[in-house]
A and B are shown apart, each in its own frame.
Chain A
């Protein structure tokens, strides 16, 4: 491919444009840049066009750098460089022509090639056109999205031309939308409104709003109708988004509470240090990333067993050192474990730092799943949601299908009887507590992907976790799942009109009242065992 197709299109545009300057065919890239660097503000436009039509493989990069104030000229040599990092006194630069990294250079030796907003606008248009012809679908799609509301008289012809050639249907419809917006806004075309109907792009909505406001009898009725259908669609998407956030918050609650559902619900041990076990899990993730710098994904995956182990061991230590001596004294257990939570928090503050630590999200977890223009679901929340469900399923399996689960249920229902049947109750206690604590560690690993990791991490979740367990019905894992997801969703549904803090307060008050109506939660245990 000697001369790309888009280039010919562009050439035609540029050649017909007024004030066209003389970018000689075959000008060396160096000369093109030279021209840009030395151009007076009036000539800059010409210089840009010259570069755009040059077909140089780096032309796109240059313009990008130029628009971002990163194109500079070395004072002594006149060499044009791209600034890679402009922090501090010495800047890291690369040769604009070859892309070769030239290392650091004092910023005093560099002359920035000035750019202003008018130039930037021009650059954007030119770059968008270049991108529209890129080979990579992703680049083309982003460029099409970028054109929304930016199509003007200068490029509308090119864009329309491109629509015919674009192989991807999605991109085509986006381009059509962009052109339609132009047609409505600049040409008052009523037919174009039908293109906008159903589109969720905010710019499309703005165009329709303007059309409604314009009082133009030709536009108004159609625009109003289109707007109505868009609003309805938006509302639906908004609800879906709220639900997603609600489920996401709910899954966090479930994760935080499910370990508690084991230690508190099944064993009847009040562990106020549960939040700090979550914190330990989160710090394990952080620590793992410190051990494996540059591999956040691997570190995260390794953190899952490591976080479980660390928290489980801490749990065993707590059980052996304190809780076993306080059997049958739940209120004392509560106080003692609260003391432990204080110690653990302070330990982290002293040993690591009182400041929050950032845990990096691996690439495959960042970003979001774009459903449409109004709805995109962040991936990390999706992973956490899935993780919560997997952990829940695994716990159900352990409690229902394994020997340990059977022994746990036996010991909790009748300790003396279980012992006389040869079950080592103490060992079961330790195992159960370790399991509950380990799950708290898993919650910590997951939470590290959503919030800051700090000494107060656990504290923020302990009250919520207890609320979830109590709301769901103590001793019932299903109850915990339902309660967590419900409370998370309620919280998110309330937030838009009550605000985050008030929503939380309302939820707390709701639970307090609910517990008084149904002291045994959503799914109470019945019968003789529950009476005791």
Chain B
């Protein structure tokens, strides 16, 4: 169980997680920079003057009640939704608003969906294979062959996400929790600079939650991680810096303790929870 021991050793980043050289320019600090972003659907303001900065290597938790705009925010970052106004930069060189989803993904932003989305007709192995960082244009994909080192990487991730035994089974038969893990595995295969993780522990057992927490904290440092989660216990266990979203804009930002003592936050959100 070399991986597990690696997992336990948090001051070190897994070899297979080392990001590939990416053109992202983070010399000036933040890896993600959102300024004055607004989105409305049919008059409903889903995002309202949102300002958010994620530093390179940071692990950030984002919390907020339903409808606070968490998922919409992720949609904006990954290019699924175009904001009405505002700017979104990845590093200081890439304007995300001018790019489409595949470009943003190849640039190094990986996303795990709220509802686990895996390719059910493909095997677990194939799911990871498709996620693997590679030349993803049409012809290279057509002629791509799997090299032994790729295979090893996939196997290593399979080990991490505890799906080794189900390697050749279609992903459709996995349980909800297993799908969550597979999706996290796919994120790992992508080796992104920025991971957007939407509710990673829904449907997981206590033990699995702990493992997820370990995994995410171990990623921080070399990679930047943004976690959206409802489970306060989980957030508390991994959080260094927490951002509270409310009605499409940032209500408070700080450590978990600072945030949970903020009277505004208590009023709208933590009141019954904390």
Contacts and interface: CB of A to CB of B under 8 A. Distances in A.
Do the two chains touch directly in the complex (Cβ atoms below 8 Å apart)?
yes
A526 B46 CA distance: 13
Interface in B31-65: 41-42, 44
A526 B41 CA distance: 6
Nearest to B41: A527
A244 B41 CA distance: 39
A528 interface: yes
Contacts of B44: 527
A48 to B, nearest CB: 80
Interface in A515-532: 526-528
Nearest to A528: B41
Contacts of A528: 41
Contacts of B42: 526-527
Question: Which 6 A-B pairs rank lowest in CB-CB distance, beginning with the nearest?
Answer: A527-B41, A527-B42, A526-B42, A526-B41, A528-B41, A527-B44
Nearest to B71: A528
A519 to B, nearest CB: 15
Interface of A: 526-528
Interface of B: 41-42, 44
A527 B41 CA distance: 5
A526 B44 CA distance: 11
A528 B81 CA distance: 11
Give the secondary structure class of A's interface: loop
Contacts of A526: 41-42
Nearest to A527: B41
A526 B43 CA distance: 10
A44 B240 CA distance: 118
Contacts of B41: 526-528
B45 to A, nearest CB: 12
Contacts of A527: 41-42, 44
Nearest to A530: B41
Nearest to B81: A531
A528 B41 CA distance: 8
6 contacts: A526-B41, A526-B42, A527-B41, A527-B42, A527-B44, A528-B41
Nearest to B44: A527
B70 to A, nearest CB: 13
A527 B44 CA distance: 9
B172 to A, nearest CB: 16
A527 B75 CA distance: 13
A528 B72 CA distance: 10
A2 to B, nearest CB: 83
A518 to B, nearest CB: 15
A527 B45 CA distance: 11
B91 to A, nearest CB: 28
B82 to A, nearest CB: 12
A315 B149 CA distance: 59
A526 B42 CA distance: 6
B76 to A, nearest CB: 13
Nearest to B75: A531
A478 to B, nearest CB: 16
Nearest to A526: B42
B168 to A, nearest CB: 28
A26 B41 CA distance: 93
B44 to A, nearest CB: 7
A340 to B, nearest CB: 29
A527 to B, nearest CB: 4
B115 to A, nearest CB: 11
A528 B40 CA distance: 11
A316 to B, nearest CB: 34
A527 B42 CA distance: 6
A528 B42 CA distance: 10
A295 to B, nearest CB: 52
A399 B266 CA distance: 43
A528 B39 CA distance: 12
B90 to A, nearest CB: 23
A101 B35 CA distance: 96
A345 B59 CA distance: 65
Nearest to B72: A528
A527 B72 CA distance: 11
A319 to B, nearest CB: 29
A215 to B, nearest CB: 70
A273 to B, nearest CB: 30
A527 B43 CA distance: 9
Nearest to A525: B42
A344 B44 CA distance: 47
A482 B41 CA distance: 24
A416 to B, nearest CB: 15
A528 B44 CA distance: 11
B78 to A, nearest CB: 14
A526 B39 CA distance: 12
A531 to B, nearest CB: 8
B84 to A, nearest CB: 12
B73 to A, nearest CB: 14
A336 B42 CA distance: 36
A527 B39 CA distance: 10
Nearest to B80: A531
A528 to B, nearest CB: 6
A373 B41 CA distance: 54
A279 B131 CA distance: 51
B216 to A, nearest CB: 28
A528 B66 CA distance: 14
